[in-house]
Homo-oligomer: A and B are copies of this chain.
């Protein structure tokens, strides 16, 4: 009673395809295979032409004879692979925000500020080709970097990028979720309320406890939101050895707080 095996027809990589070139944990690069392209790393370079015809799961060697694995690009691969002009929303936090929001294929969501676009890449991944991210920022340079990063990830067509102070409102309605990474989200709650579908969620990401407090108090004062929760995630990594397993010594002690709420009429 097992289902029929899914057919897969895996042709090798060609120009225009994306692949994660993985040397080690700190050296993972999302590459769009291009004629004449070269990936340079401190462990040697890789000519894009040598990637053509290879498949995910294959490995190659760099010019310095280091082995590199070719993997399917995943959202986390962009954590280190994008150009950065701002602090990014960390993967653990992006993951939980997307989950809490219940982003599904076809969702239309608003994001402000876009910053370097790391969360935007994640959102664009999970909404699929029928969804849309309306991304705003007040900084033209940030938008340009985000555009470049989205293009690199092959997701630009799912995203609208606009230069706009979201606190002043925007002509959008009926959105499935709102994501804010702003210094003063409490000043943009009315905008969020106006663009959200009734019963749908807002996610706010802020680094300080003062911003948490102001955001939640503003939500309560404004009304229109229920199920308000504040979350903080701590991520530990472990080192595994035979009879020698333990958490890593290095850890990021703080990234940001997540405020969640849902719009009511």
Contacts and interface: CB of A to CB of B under 8 A. Distances in A.
A11 interface: no
Interface of A: 1-3, 5-8, 10, 20, 22, 25, 28, 55-59, 69-76, 91-92, 94-96, 98-106, 108, 122, 125-130, 134, 160, 162, 164, 170-175, 197-201, 207-210, 212-213, 216-217, 226-227, 229-255, 257, 262-265
A239 B257 CA distance: 12
B238 A230 contact: yes
26 contacts: A2-B162, A2-B170, A2-B172, A3-B160, A5-B172, A5-B173, A6-B175, A8-B173, A56-B200, A57-B197, A69-B226, A70-B199, A71-B199, A72-B201, A99-B99, A105-B126, A106-B128, A209-B209, A209-B238, A210-B213, A230-B237, A230-B239, A231-B236, A233-B233, A233-B235, A249-B255
Contact of A95 (B95, B160, B265): B95
A254 B248 contact: yes
Contacts of A71: 199, 226-227, 262, 264
A166 B71 CA distance: 25
Given A5-B174, A232-B236, A246 B207 contact: yes
A253 B243 CA distance: 20
Which of the listed residues A98, A199, A250 has the most CB atoms from chain B within 10 Å of its own CB?
A199
A99 B76 contact: yes
